[in-house]
């Protein structure tokens, strides 16, 4: 009974030492007494010589390498930048990978070193503006290509290197905010000034229209008045020329009535035409003309 | 002594228990030695085989591996695979829409901003505050499981890459206003491209920009631009209002002046005619008796125009300006002292 049990256990141990499974997303290295024997890149059931050979399983997926921390870089125009990258890679040559960097952690450390150096070099060769805008893609491709070349030594295939973040150092950020503020203030001022300008134009236009309308009206009014004056003048002339002397007599009488007021003092001689009957019923030497009305203030 | 008492009782129970166990072992061994052993073995084998059953729920897919190698994908329903160690299966939800939040985190229904994630540089070297919301689902369960390490983490990182990449290519004004949809679309495309390259098996269904704002530090200035724009419109509207007010009023005033002038013209003409008629009528009568009419007219007028004035009658011979008789008030009742009174006035 116990013999059977022991036999089963021994068989199980031998089986587990002989067969091994490489799953999807994995690859394996088989070592014989510490020496590389073969590389398995296909998933499935595999056989090895028990006890003599051992297996090292590695990942066969797309892996990520985040930069340890966002590092500071300097552009060609001496602007400082904080850049955070992420790269994707695969273990292309498991043996080389295992021999050179041992494991995932080691690989990431090496990769990040390479990327950092490459990126530093690329950013240092470009102006800030270029890097931010038009050449970002180009620069990243350059970095990826450069990294890929060096990473081959570690059996790593770099798929790409991407910039996750590009930020400005805090103190620079503050000055960017100040600039943005100034920029917006400028725009706001422009809008207000434009509003003022347009409003003034409209108002001036309105005033102009008003003045023109009024002037036109004045002109027409004057013409009308002139017509009235002319017509009445001719009418008067036609009538008064029938006896000009009588007209001037009548008109003067009218004028006296209007002109002589309470505060007018009149000196008259008793022998004036008006007063000639004042002292005698016969009348004094009636000088016809001497009405003697000389007015004084 | 007392404390050893219970021990006797204990001894008894232990003894009893041991007896029972021995009895059970006895029965069991007899059972094993008989056909019972086979029953147990069969039961164990059945149980082992039954461990291969599994259920794929609606909207899920089962991925089966045979010795670690991809074997097949199973649709919803009860499924069977060979038990361990031959086959294994993983169930993946492919219909639930998953979500990733960039620049903010939803917490109990409220979005909390994460400035380190949401602040980014635009192409014109400004800084903008952006929050991106990505919805995605698993399109290829096999790739999702075995294509990339931590695919959903890869999606988050890639979404940040895409977001910053696209925003960095555009100006702040474009990003914040007219270009929002365009940028959203580009981010979606870029992100999908990355996800495909990275073999994540994920499909982006929607990437939407929730917030595209100026950073808090400069928000006031941005709001002020909006206000300035409104101010401009207001100033223009006010001026237009002024025009609407002034021009019709001027037109009214113009018409008024013209009407007044017209009235003046008509009035002048009519009056002239009246005056002329009157003069002519008078003249006709005057011509009949010119001397007396003239006298009458003069005296009538004199009574009228001399009435209100102050009058001084001077010495007849001496031409001195000394007034002899200050005649104040109305002529008819002039109070006098030296000279005689009653200068008739109305007399003809």
Band (pLDDT 50/70/90 cuts) for residue B129 is very high
Kindly list the residues from chain A whose CB atom is less than 8 angstroms away from the CB atom of residue B305. 253, 256-257, 259-260
Q: Do A61 and B148 touch (CB under 8 A)?
A: yes
Per-residue pLDDT tens for A232-242? 999 999 999 98
For B304-321, what is the mean pLDDT?
70
Kindly list the residues from chain A whose CB atom is less than 8 angstroms away from the CB atom of residue B280. 239, 242
**Distances in whole angstroms, Cα of residue B200 to Cα of each of A22, B45, B130:** 20, 39, 25
Kindly list the residues from chain B whose CB atom is less than 8 angstroms away from the CB atom of residue A173. 127
Q: Do B232 and A86 touch (CB under 8 A)?
A: no
DSSP B217: G
If contacts are CB pairs under 8 Å, which of residues 45-104 in chain A contact chain B? 45, 59, 61-64, 66, 86, 88
Kindly list the residues from chain A whose CB atom is less than 8 angstroms away from the CB atom of residue B233. 195
Query: A33 to chain B nearest CA, in Å?
Result: 25
- At residue B261's C-alpha, the angle toward residues B255 and B264, to 5°, is 145
A interface test, pick of B163, B269, B284 with most A CB neighbours within 10 Å: B269
Q: Would you call A80 helix, strand, or coil by DSSP?
A: strand
Per-residue pLDDT tens for B268-303? 999 999 999 999 998 998 889 988 988 888 888 888
Band (pLDDT 50/70/90 cuts) for residue A214 is very high
Residue B191's pLDDT is: 95
For B213-226, what is the mean pLDDT?
90
Per-residue pLDDT tens for A7-65? 999 999 988 888 999 999 999 999 998 888 889 988 989 999 888 888 999 999 999 88
ipTM of the complex as predicted: 0.72
For A66-84, what is the mean pLDDT?
85
Band (pLDDT 50/70/90 cuts) for residue B252 is very high
Give the whole-angstrom CA distance, residue A122 versus residue A73: 10
Give the distance from CA A113 to its chain's centroid: 40
Per-residue pLDDT tens for A250-275? 888 888 888 877 777 877 777 777 77
Q: Do A177 and B217 touch (CB under 8 A)?
A: yes
Q: Do B228 and A187 touch (CB under 8 A)?
A: yes
Query: A217 to chain B nearest CA, in Å?
Result: 5
Kindly list the residues from chain A whose CB atom is less than 8 angstroms away from the CB atom of residue B264. 224-225, 228
Give the whole-angstrom CA distance, residue A250 versus residue B12: 169
Give the mean pLDDT of chain A.
86
Which residues 6+ apart lie within 8 Å of A231 measured at CB?
A: B265, B268, B269, B272
Per-residue pLDDT tens for B143-175? 999 999 999 999 999 999 999 999 988 999 899
Measure CB to CB from residue A246 to each of B70, B286, B298 and give the nearest one.
B286
Band (pLDDT 50/70/90 cuts) for residue A193 is very high
Whether the full predicted model's pTM is greater than 0.90, yes or no, is: no
A interface test, pick of B313, B324, B325, B332 with most A CB neighbours within 10 Å: B313
Is the pLDDT at B322 greater than 60? The verdict is no
Measure CB to CB from residue A165 to each of B164, B236, B311 and give the nearest one.
B164
Give the whole-angstrom CA distance, residue B314 versus residue A269: 5
The token pair at B348 is 């003809």
Tell whether A12 lies on the interface with B, counting CB pairs under 8 A.
Answer: no
Looking up tokens 């988050």 gives B156
Q: DSSP H helical segments within chain A, as ranges? A: 2-18, 94-100, 104-124, 128-132, 136-151, 170-240, 244-259
Lowest mean pLDDT among A23-32, A61-70, B29-38: B29-38
Is the CB of residue B158 less than 8 Å from the CB of residue B198?
yes
Could you tell me which chain B residue has the CA closest to the CA of A237?
A: B276
Band (pLDDT 50/70/90 cuts) for residue B106 is confident
Q: Would you call B72 helix, strand, or coil by DSSP?
A: strand
Read off φ and ψ for residue B135, nearest 5 degrees: -115, 135
Residue A65's pLDDT is: 87
If contacts are CB pairs under 8 Å, which of residues 227-246 in chain A contact chain B? 227-229, 231-233, 235-236, 238-240, 242-243, 246
Tell whether B269 lies on the interface with A, counting CB pairs under 8 A.
Answer: yes
């Amino acid at each position: 009974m116990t013999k059977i049990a022991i036999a089963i256990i021994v068989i199980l141990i031998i089986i587990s030492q002989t067969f091994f499974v490489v799953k999807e997303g994995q690859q394996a290295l088989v070592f014989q007494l510490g020496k590389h024997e073969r590389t398995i890149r296909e998933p499935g059931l595999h056989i090895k010589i028990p006890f003599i050979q051992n297996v090292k399983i590695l990942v066969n997926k797309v892996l990520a390498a985040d930069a340890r921390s966002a590092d500071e870089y300097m552009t060609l125009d001496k602007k400082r930048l904080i850049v955070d990258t992420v790269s994707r890679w695969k273990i292309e040559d498991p043996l080389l990978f295992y021999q050179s960097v041992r494991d995932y952690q080691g690989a990431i450390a090496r990769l990040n070193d390479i990327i950092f150096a490459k990126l530093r070099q690329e950013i240092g060769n470009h102006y800030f503006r270029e890097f931010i805008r038009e050449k970002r893609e180009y620069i990243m491709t350059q970095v990826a290509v450069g990294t890929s070349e060096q990473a081959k030594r570690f059996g790593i295939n770099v798929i790409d290197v991407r910039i996750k973040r590009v930020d400005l150092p805090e103190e620079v950020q503050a000055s960017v905010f100040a600039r943005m503020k100034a920029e917006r203030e400028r725009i706001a001022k422009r809008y207000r000034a434009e509003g003022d300008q347009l409003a003034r134009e409209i108002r001036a236009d309105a005033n102009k229209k008003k003045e023109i309308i009024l002037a036109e009206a004045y002109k027409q009014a004057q013409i009308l008045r002139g017509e009235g004056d002319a017509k009445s003048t001719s009418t008067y002339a036609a009538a008064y020329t029938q006896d000009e002397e009588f007209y001037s007599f009548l008109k003067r009488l009218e004028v006296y009535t209007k002109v002589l007021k309470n505060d007018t003092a009149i000196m008259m001689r008793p022998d004036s035409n008006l007063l000639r009957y004042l002292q005698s019923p016969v009348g004094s030497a009636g000088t016809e003309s001497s009405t003697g009305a000389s007015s004084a203030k | 002594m007392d404390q050893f008492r219970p021990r006797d009782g204990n001894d008894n129970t232990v003894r009893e228990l041991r007896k029972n166990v021995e009895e059970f072992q006895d029965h069991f061994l007899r059972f094993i030695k008989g056909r019972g052993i086979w029953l147990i073995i069969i039961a164990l084998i059945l149980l082992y085989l039954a461990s291969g059953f599994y259920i794929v729920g609606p909207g899920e897919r089962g991925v089966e591996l045979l010795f670690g190698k991809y074997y097949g994908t199973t649709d919803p329903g009860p499924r069977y695979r060979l038990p361990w160690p031959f086959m294994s299966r993983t169930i993946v939800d492919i219909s639930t829409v998953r979500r990733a939040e960039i620049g903010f985190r939803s917490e109990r229904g409220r979005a909390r901003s994460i400035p380190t994630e949401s602040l980014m540089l635009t192409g014109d070297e400004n800084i903008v505050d952006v929050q991106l919301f990505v919805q995605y689902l698993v399109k290829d369960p096999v790739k999702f499981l075995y294509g990339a390490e931590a695919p959903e983490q890869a999606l988050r990182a890639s979404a940040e890459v895409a977001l910053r990449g696209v925003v960095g290519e555009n100006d702040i004004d474009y990003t914040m206003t007219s270009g929002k949809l365009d940028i959203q679309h580009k981010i979606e495309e870029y992100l999908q491209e990355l996800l495909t390259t990275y073999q994540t098996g994920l499909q982006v269904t929607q990437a939407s920009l929730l917030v595209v704002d100026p950073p808090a530090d400069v928000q006031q200035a941005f709001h002020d631009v909006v206000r300035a724009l409104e101010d401009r419109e207001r100033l223009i509207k006010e001026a237009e209002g002024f025009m609407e007010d002034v021009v019709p009023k001027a037109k009214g005033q113009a018409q008024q002046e013209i009407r007044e002038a017209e009235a003046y013209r008509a009035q002048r003409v009519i009056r002239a005619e009246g005056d002329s008629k009157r003069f002519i009528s008078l003249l006709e009568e005057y011509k009949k008796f010119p001397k007396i009419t003239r006298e009458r007219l003069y005296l009538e007028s004199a009574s009228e125009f001399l009435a209100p004035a102050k009058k001084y009658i001077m010495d007849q011979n001496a031409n001195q300006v000394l007034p002899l008789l200050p005649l104040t008030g109305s002529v008819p009742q002039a109070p006098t002292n030296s000279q005689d009174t009653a200068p008739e006035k109305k007399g003809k």
